[in-house]
Homo-oligomer: A and B are copies of this chain.
Amino acid sequence: MADLYPPYPPPLSPEEESYLLSNLKDWSIAHGLAVRPPPSYVPEAQNPGNALAANAPVTLFPSLFPRTCFEQASDVAQAYNVLYSAIACDEAWLGAVVEELIEIDDFMAGLWKVHLKVKGEGYAQPLSLGLFRSDYMVHVDPEQPLKPTVKQVEFNTIAASFGGLSINVAGLHKYLQLIGAYPPSMSSLFSSGKIPEGQSVPGLALGMAKAHEAYGPSSLGRQTCILFLVQDTERNVFDQRHLEYEIIEKHNITTFRIPWTKVLQQTKLDDQRRLLYLPPQRPDQEYEVSVVYFRAGYAPSEYNGQADWDARLHIERSAAIKCPNILTHLAGTKKVQQVLATPHSPHLSRFLKDSAEADAVLKTFAPIYPMDKSEAGLQARRLASDPESASRYVLKPQREGGGNNIYRKDIPDFLKSLPEQQWPAYILMEMIEPPAQNNVVLRNGELQDGGVICELGVYGACLWRQGEGDGKGEVLYNGHAPYLLRTKGSGVSEGGVATGYSALDSVLLVDK
């Protein structure tokens, strides 16, 4: 593995570090590469009106990434759009997968119940929008250390974040190179095109614009708008705002932000179940909502009572195009990933008829086993219970959100502590073995350096006609938009940037 990457990054003298940091901090704020600081950084009392901002956590250097791997991940993005839109259209298949989890996962049971209710009266909107992000790590097979591939970590079908900020990290690192903030020894790494242009903001906004256009003008002559459904307190607000600005300025579409807890108060359905938004700042005006973009409502912790479930049902019943609808949300569960990635699974070819596409997607799967009593499940239970074999695996809960993965040699003891009927709530995944590299992260005004692990996210934007739930969907728009690189200290096993474990990064392509 030592041969995959050259030694990197070069050390900085104190003067180099100071120069790089001052330029990094100023450029970030000047270009909106920012977050609202957490209370642990700036106490709320010190932050009247929540008007302060801090630069988003970023790496000082772009991280090395094999060009073949970057291309592999980009090349399968549209196949993944086809795959997941097809899954979301196949209610019977998805239902069978989800049903296994309903007993043990209240959140999924709740989502499924919402779907069934809407199905009962009939869906009012045949179109569905997915703004997806497929996350990968570089995997180095010890047998072929110079032939790295990407392996999928997870596939996000709801609230995939950082598309609005990641594009600027590539800009930041290119700027730092341009002004000579990196040591001269790095310049050979930086020949033209080595940091690919980010496309996330225009790509995601175009997807939303396509959906808005497909919704069409209001048949009652109302003004239409896209609704960003957001959490009540959102520190990662600029990530979302950059998408809004692109939609408003490039596509001339009206957008509004509505807090998750205000859905029932600020929206209503008309007699055709069209979703109407009543802006509190302009109570005499009604907007007809073309697209609801979920940046909230994705985590179990957001459903604290019947009102939250009512809100989700209210939107699902509406004629607005959901990004995503419930079936698409459920398609993103790890159980689906596991079913697809179970060795010798027949499922992939069910959804991807094009065998070249299916092969390409299959190559990005790390083997994933169920923990049930199927044949593959029994094999997994053996692998997971033996400390020796368990050391190549991770045990993950099927639910979204992270924070509870069990790694390698910790797995056998954990399983012993867990009643066996709860085992099927987990999947067993072969560990991806990323190449070692180092970087330095600036977070909350402080530096952290050391070994890091990088996760590449490739965005997809897909608009499809849902069909009758019979698997006969039709893709109307299929676009993809690289990229996000998220980098975390390799001592850290979990985390999203917003929760503070990792940083935004960009890709420095390595051709070897």
Q: Using CB atoms and an 8 Å cutoff, list the residues of chain A in contact with chain B.
A: 13, 15-16, 18-21, 25-27, 29-32, 34, 37, 42-43, 46-55, 175, 178-181, 184, 237-238, 241-242, 245, 248, 254-255, 279-283, 442, 444-446
Contact = CB atoms under 8 A, between A and B. Distances in A.
Contacts of A280: 15, 19
Given A281-B15, A281-B18, A446 B30 contact: no
Contacts of A25: 49-51
A220 to B, nearest CB: 19
Nearest to A239: B30
5 closest residue pairs by CB, A with B: A30-B32, A19-B281, A48-B445, A49-B445, A51-B445
A117 to B, nearest CB: 32
Contact of A52 (B37, B48, B178, B282): B37
Interface centre among A21, A29, A51, A446 (most CB of B within 10 A): A51
Contacts of A42: 42, 46, 52
B281 A30 contact: no
B51 A241 contact: no
A485 B53 CA distance: 25
A11 to B, nearest CB: 13
Contact of A29 (B32, B254, B445): B32
17 contacts: A15-B281, A16-B281, A18-B281, A27-B241, A30-B32, A30-B242, A31-B32, A32-B32, A37-B52, A46-B46, A49-B442, A51-B54, A51-B55, A52-B52, A53-B54, A53-B55, A180-B282
Nearest to A55: B51
A256 to B, nearest CB: 8
A27 B248 CA distance: 12
A51 B58 CA distance: 12
A314 B55 CA distance: 37
A280 B242 CA distance: 36
Given A32-B29, A34-B29, A444 B48 contact: yes
Given A27-B241, A30-B242, A279-B19, A48 B446 contact: yes
A53 B238 CA distance: 14
Contacts of A19: 279-281
Contact of A30 (B34, B179, B181): B34
Contacts of A237: 26
Nearest to A164: B30
A445 B54 CA distance: 15
A179 B248 contact: yes
B53 A52 contact: yes
A444 B47 CA distance: 9
A326 B19 CA distance: 30
A296 to B, nearest CB: 16
Nearest to A287: B180
A52 B55 CA distance: 7
Contacts of A30: 32, 34, 238, 241-242, 245
A12 to B, nearest CB: 9
Contacts of A444: 48, 51
Contact of A49 (B21, B32, B241, B281): B21
A303 to B, nearest CB: 25
B34 A53 contact: yes
A283 B18 CA distance: 14
Nearest to A25: B51
A412 B374 CA distance: 99
A181 B181 CA distance: 41
A42 B20 CA distance: 24
A432 to B, nearest CB: 33
Contact of A445 (B37, B47, B184, B442): B47
A54 B53 CA distance: 6
Nearest to A47: B445
A42 B255 CA distance: 33
A33 to B, nearest CB: 9
Contact of A248 (B16, B46, B178): B178
A426 to B, nearest CB: 40
A20 B53 CA distance: 18
Contacts of A34: 29-30, 53
Contacts of A55: 51, 53
Contacts of A181: 281
A53 B21 CA distance: 15
A78 B241 CA distance: 39
A112 B245 CA distance: 51
